[in-house]
């Protein structure tokens, strides 16, 4: 009998789920990887294809397609199932159909006696993370949405490119809805430890073409451009999800902006929203509460209010 083996289940083997599974294998994140899909031929094909990659990876992972019963002893379940994006939709427009999918997935996961942590990718992710929390009965710290983690990575890359510095030298994030109402808290962004707003003021000649409002819009809209061109965003969300998985499985206490339940932070309660959180083997250990500028707090409140309105439309 294997001792201390880590196990991850990915539910949904479309473009996103398959990319997540591939990233898990390439980084040998766990010992056992199970793929589940309503299309059993698809999950079998993805699992078999991943098995064939092991000959060149040096990994000894156990990869297979499976059933919801396989969730029983899983450490973590990733929900990546979703219907294809329809041009012109916002993420919030996908809520009704996404909620039907969640209702078909979460009960059988929990019927297996699963007691681990769930990571939700399915959009609208803030609303779906809340819904999964309610459907599963798991404590809020054990249900994590990918939230604004990918948006934050996009922002870091964008600012690093403008400044011609390594992205790891940029401390930047997006907050609020993973969607059209998300905000960039510019007061909290630093490059090399220096506030970005001070960098703008000190380098007016160098950054004269820089426009905060255009960056806000670019980060919000870049996903739609990618989806319209290739059908889905895959590599970015896969890498993002794997960072969250690693933070949990390896007990990293790593701060990542994810969709997590607010319990008084930012003056809000009972709503999942993209905020920086400390992640470890308990899931969300704690949230990081920033002292936002007044205008940033107002925009965050507006974003949270939109999420709340959609939460109220769910059939709980």
At 128-169, the pLDDT tens digits run 999 999 999 999 999 999 999 999 999 999 999 988 999 999
CB neighbourhood size of 231 (10 A): 12
Residues 302 and 165 in one domain: yes
Closest CA to 212 of 14, 220, 144, 294: 220
CATH number of the domain that 199 lies in?
A: 3.90.110.10
Query: Would you state the structure tokens that stand for residue 164, as one six-digit string?
Result: 């011609």
Residue 127 lies in a domain: yes
In this structure, the answer to whether residues 107 and 178 fall within a common structural domain is: no
28 and 75 together in one domain:
yes
> Could you give the residue numbers annotated as active site?
178
Query: Of 63 and 211, which is predicted with more confidence?
Result: 63
Is pLDDT larger for residue 216 or for residue 304? 304
Least confident of 56-60, 119-123, 216-220, 230-234: 56-60
Co-location of 177 and 97 in the same domain? no
Taking the C-alpha atoms of residue 57 and residue 74, their distance in angstroms, rounded to an integer, is 23
Per-residue pLDDT, 155: 96
Asked whether residue 2 is domain-assigned, the answer is: no
Q: Looking at residue 84, what is its pLDDT?
A: 82
Same domain membership, residue 161 and residue 79: no
Residue 112 per-residue DSSP state = T
In a domain, 135, yes or no: yes
pLDDT of residue 60: 86
Confidence of residue 173 (pLDDT cuts 50, 70, 90): very high
Least confident of 222-236, 260-274, 291-305: 222-236
Residue 207 lies in a domain: yes
Domain-terminating residue out of 77, 112, 145? 145
Number of domains composing the chain: 2
Domain boundary, last residue among 110, 145, 180: 145
**What's the longest Cα–Cα distance across the chain?**
65
In a domain, 47, yes or no: yes
pLDDT at 29 over 80: yes
Same domain, 272 and 178: yes
Three-state DSSP state, 315:
coil
| Residue 283 in this model has a pLDDT that exceeds 80 | yes
Joined tokens for residue 287: 């949230």
User: Which 3 state secondary structure label does DSSP give 297?
Assistant: helix
**How crowded is residue 41: how many other Cβ atoms within 10 Å of its Cβ?**
9
Residues 180 and 231 reside in one and the same domain: yes
pLDDT surpassing 60 at residue 55: yes
Domain that holds residue 219: 148-313
Checking if the pLDDT of 1 tops 60, the result is no
Q: What CA–CA distances, in Å, run from 53 to 23, 134, 157, 208?
A: 12, 38, 30, 48
Residue ending a domain, choose from 119, 145, 171: 145
The two structure tokens encoding residue 286: 């704690």
Task: Give the pLDDT score at 166.
Answer: 95
Classify residue 31: in a domain, yes or no.
yes
Average pLDDT over residues 272-279: 98
Upstream peptide bond of 254 is cis (omega within 30 degrees of 0)? no
For residue 304, the model assigns a pLDDT of 98
Residues 235 and 187 in one domain: yes
**33 neighbors 6 (Cβ within 8 angstroms):** no
The annotation places the binding site for NAD(+) at 12-17, 37, 42, 68, 104, 121-123, 146
Q: Do 29 and 8 meet the contact criterion of CB atoms below 8 Å apart?
A: yes
Q: Are residues 133 and 195 in the same domain?
A: no
**Torsion angles phi and psi, residue 64, rounded to 5:** -160, 160
∠148-149-154 over CA atoms, to 5°? 95
Taking 80 as the threshold, does the pLDDT of residue 296 lie above it?
yes
pLDDT given at position 3: 57
- 92-127: burial string, b at 16+ Cβ within 10 Å, e else: bebbeebbebbeebbeebbebebebbbbbbbbbbbb
Domain assignment present for 180: yes
183 shares a domain with 60: no
**Whether residue 242 is found in the same domain as residue 172:** yes
Average pLDDT of the residues in 292-302: 98
Same domain, 171 and 56: no
Q: Domain of 108: which CATH number? A: 3.40.50.720
Residue numbering of the annotated binding site? 12-17, 37, 42, 68, 91, 104, 121-126, 146, 151-154, 233
Q: Is residue 122 part of a domain?
A: yes
């Amino acid at each position: 009998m294997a001792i201390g083996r880590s196990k991850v289940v990915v539910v949904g083997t479309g473009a996103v789920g398959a990319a997540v599974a591939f990233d898990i294998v390439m980084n040998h994140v766990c010992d056992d990887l199970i793929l589940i899909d309503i299309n059993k031929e698809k999950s079998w094909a993805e699992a078999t294809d991943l098995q064939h990659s092991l000959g060149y990876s040096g990994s000894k992972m156990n990869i297979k397609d499976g059933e919801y019963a396989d969730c029983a002893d899983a450490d973590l379940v990733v929900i990546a199932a979703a219907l294809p994006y329809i041009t012109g939709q916002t993420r919030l427009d996908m809520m009704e159909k996404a909620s039907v999918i969640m209702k078909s997935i979460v009960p059988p996961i929990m019927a297996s006696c699963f007691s681990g942590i769930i990571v939700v990718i399915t959009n609208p992710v803030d609303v779906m993370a809340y819904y999964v929390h309610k459907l599963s009965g798991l404590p809020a710290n054990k249900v994590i949405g990918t939230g604004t983690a990918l948006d934050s990575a996009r922002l870091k890359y964008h600012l690093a490119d403008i400044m011609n510095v390594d992205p790891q030298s940029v401390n930047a994030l997006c907050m609020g809805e993973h969607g059209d109402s998300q905000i960039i808290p510019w007061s909290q962004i630093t490059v090399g430890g220096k506030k970005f707003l001070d960098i703008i003021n000190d380098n007016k000649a160098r950054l004269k073409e820089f426009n905060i409002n255009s960056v806000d819009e670019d980060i919000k809209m870049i996903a739609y451009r990618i989806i319209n061109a290739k059908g889905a965003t895959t590599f970015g969300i896969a890498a993002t999800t794997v960072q969250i998985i690693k933070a949990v499985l390896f007990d990293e206490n790593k701060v990542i902006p994810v969709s997590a339940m607010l319990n008084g932070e930012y003056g809000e309660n009972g709503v999942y929203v993209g905020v920086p959180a400390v992640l470890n083997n308990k899931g969300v250990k704690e949230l990081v509460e920033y002292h936002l500028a007044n205008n940033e707090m107002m925009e965050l409140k507006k974003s949270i209010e939109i999420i709340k309105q959609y939460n109220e439309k769910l059939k709980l």
